[in-house]
Structure 1
Amino acid sequence: ISELAAEFHPQHCHLFVYSSSKGTLRLCDMRESALCDKHSKIFEEPEDPGNRSFFSEIISSVSDVKFSHSGRYLLTRDYLTVKVWDLNMEKGPVETYQVHEYLRSKLCSLYENDCIFDKFECVWNSTDSVIMTGAYNSFFRMFDRETGRGVTLESWRESSKPRAVLRTRRIYTGGRRRRGDVGVDSLDFTKKILHMAWHPAENIIAIAATNNLYIFQDRVNAENL
């Protein structure tokens, strides 16, 4: 088991959480011991035996963890999903959002090209009402926690022009294909958004897409959500 991400509580400096490659989260309290080799709480979602596969352990690895600004919740990112955990509920996440479930059928090829080991970050907005994380093909995802609705947005050179509106995209996985849909087989896995940040007080986001850094502001995001 390897530790992948860690963060201190925003209000209580003696508390911190770290994630593992086994998909678990451990909350530690430094008041109990200077050597935090034992945890105060462990957060883990029971595995569904019906979904068990060779890739289960890899895709359950938690690549990032963030405390909410309120300090009550944890936001985690594994390969296919982002999850919200309540610090008072260790038995499983209170919210789960599918980031790119359409890749589940392509895990074998993603394993062969090492993409399955990509470590995506996740972030909260300033009010903890919206969460954001990255994907492939220069796409990133936002989820409104109140409605549960998600939107796929694209970072590309045209959107970096002043007053340009972020482009919403849809991944085609079957059924009726609409104009502008992107097929799963045509996704560019070399264009991945792994790193991002959300301003602590304003609706301003920074997106790192390969060798470009994009900064988007406020009104655009609100319109897309």
Structure 2
Amino acid sequence: MMAEEHNWKFAQCFGDKSDSDDITEADIITTVEFDQTGDLLASGDKGGRVVLFERNNTKKSCEYKFYTEFQSHEAEFDYLKSLEIEEKINKIKWCKRQNSAHFLLTTNDKTIKLWKVFEKSLRMVAENIMSPSKVPAGQIYIPKLTHRDTIIAAVPRKIYANAHAYHINSISTNSDGETYISSDDLRINLWNLDISDQSFNIVDVKPANMEELTEVITAAEFHPYHCNTFMYSSSKGSIKLGDMRASALCDQHAIVFEEAENPANRSFFSEIISSVSDVKFSQDGRYILSRDYLGLKIWDINMNSKPVQTIQIHDQLRNRLCDLYENDCIFDKFECTFSADGNSVLSGSYSNTFHIFDREGKTDISLQADKTAFKAKRLGSTKHRMTSLGGGVSSSTSGMNSDNMDFNKKILHASWHPRENSIAVAATNNLFIFTE
């Protein structure tokens, strides 16, 4: 089946474009997230900062401009455990908008914060023509306030702390607009946005004896419109669907999505590469997308026996797993995301490339979020390759073998605009926007 021609192009880049300079660790982007409208885009970094961008409505194309920046988290020290808690932002999630202000949840390893971002009018006393000393007797001098400037203010409205003994890997807001879940390696907690000092533990996989621990939770997400349903993925390659109506503790999952491993592929690295690094629902809630080290799986929520599609991204790395284990790359956690219409999926790779596949896995568009994108734009071309792939299981053949991959440059974090074909991609300390 021939692939239809796509017209993805590089649109914008925020951040230092030069990679010859030493990039400070604090500037590395660790999460990106569009809000529900796509008019706002947030990024968080290792230095604990959150930067917001807003849609530039004066332009017809999908273009963003700087909105505001604030320090969300600071480095802390846990004296009881003698542990340093990094300020790194692990995840950002936007809350449903209720008024003119914007609300977003941010988290590092231990503490979740609810931020209110709003426009604040700065007013000052106008210099009256008449000074107080010249006010006629019997009259009161009333100073007049005039509008001086409008600033964007960010204030923490709630701090949800001390609920996780292990590192928080995900947060997800509920469609009810009132609650959210936070997940660490062994537990998932349910919070009410208005109550910061208590949460309910809804999943607990911690064994009585920690030596018997065989799997950890890697990600969790609420269903897009069933407020009682959520899913979580594990390091053993399974995805479990939980229903909060069934019981208070959802350890007895409703459905499990798991594919038996082919014994021919079994190796020392099998468990590491089968660990699910990210899971996402499609916007209609019908499909689940999961990412492991080598590729993507698409599941139909009504069929848990096997994925409807398996898309290989790193099949060419199978014979290099030993090297990747040595340099820790095998533990890289690539995120994945559905397009707004659910017909395409996206996930990252090495050498600052990322891939867009159609849901049948027949086409692979490989784009590069790198300085070369600027050169390509100047030359009036788009840096992308496209491959037509046949068959049910696809393999990414983007002209890159494992020998010429740059393992220091990787696309781990990306977000797809909720209404159109625009993508925000984090590449080290740069935020790239691509649009179709």
TM bucket (normalised to shorter chain) is 0.7 to 0.9
In the TM superposition, residue 142 of structure 1 has moved relative to its aligned partner by 0.9
Q: Are the equivalent residues in 2 in contact too, given 1:195–1:207 (CA < 8 A)?
A: yes
Q: Which residue number corresponds to residue 173 of structure 1?
A: none
1:105 aligned residue: 319
Is 1:15 aligned to residue 229 of structure 2? yes
Letter in 2 for 1:72: R
Could you tell me how far apart the structure 2 residues matched to 1:196 and 1:165 are?
Answer: 23
Which residue is equivalent to 1:55?
Answer: 269
Structure 1 residue identity aligned to 2:415: A
Which SS does the other structure have where 2:341 is aligned?
coil
Give 1:168's match in structure 2, choosing from 374, 377, 384. Answer: 384
Q: Distance in 2 between matches of 1:181 and 1:146?
A: 21
Classify 1:73/1:183 alpha carbon distance in 2 versus 1 (closer, same or farther; 3 Å): closer
**Residue 209 in 1 paired to residue 427 in 2?**
yes
Q: For residue 157 of structure 1, report the CA deviation from its aligned partner.
A: 2.1
Map Cα deviations across residues 10-31 of structure 1 (whole Å, 9 max, x no partner).
0101000000000000000000
User: 1:17–1:25: 8 Å Cα contact kept in structure 2?
Assistant: yes
Letter in 1 for 2:423: I
Q: How many residues align?
A: 210
Structure with higher strand content = 2
SS in 2 for 1:186: coil
Q: How does 1:41-190 map to 2 (within 5 A)?
A: 41-146=255-360, 148-160=362-374, 165-169=381-385, 181-190=399-408
Structure 2 SS opposite 1:57: helix
Q: Which runs of 5+ in 2 are unaligned?
A: 1-214, 387-397
C-alpha distance in 2, partners of 1:145/1:36?
A: 30
Residue 193 (structure 1) aligns with: 411
CA distance in 1 between counterparts of 2:306 and 2:288 reads 12
Aligned residue type for 2:363:
R
Structure 2: how far apart are the matches of 1:160 and 1:199?
22
C-alpha displacement of 1:2: 0.5
Query: Of 216, 230, 234, which residue of structure 2 is paired with 1:2?
Result: 216
Which residue in the other structure is 2:80 paired with?
Answer: none
Deviation at 1:187, TM superposition (A): 1.2
Please tell me whether Structure 1 or Structure 2 has the larger radius of gyration of its CA atoms: 2
Mapped partners of 2:430, 2:234: distance in 1: 30
- Of residues 221, 243, 251, the one that matches 1:37 is 251
The whole-number CA distance in structure 1 between the counterparts of 2:322 and 2:361 is: 33
Aligned-residue RMSD, C-alpha? 2.0
Aligned to 1:176: none
Sort the Cα spacing of 1:183 and 1:26 in 2 relative to 1 into closer, same or farther, 3 A: closer
CA distance in 1, matches of 2:223, 2:402: 38
CA 155–201 in structure 1, closer or farther in 2 if over 3 Å, else same: same
The separation in 1 between residues aligned to 2:312 and 2:381, in whole angstroms, is: 24
Task: Flag the 1:165–1:130 CA change in 2: closer, same or farther, 3 A.
Answer: farther
Measure the CA separation in 1 of the matches of 2:299 and 2:314.
Answer: 20
Call closer, same or farther: CA 1:40–1:185 in 2, change over 3 Å. Answer: same
One-letter amino acid matched to 1:150: D
**SS where residue 216 of structure 1 aligns?**
strand
Q: Is the 8 A contact 1:84 1:96 kept in 2?
A: yes
Structure 2 CA distance, aligned partners of 1:30 and 1:147?
33
TM-score between both structures, scaled by the size of structure 1? 0.88
The answer (yes or no) to whether the contact 1:80–1:98 under 8 Å persists in 2 is: yes
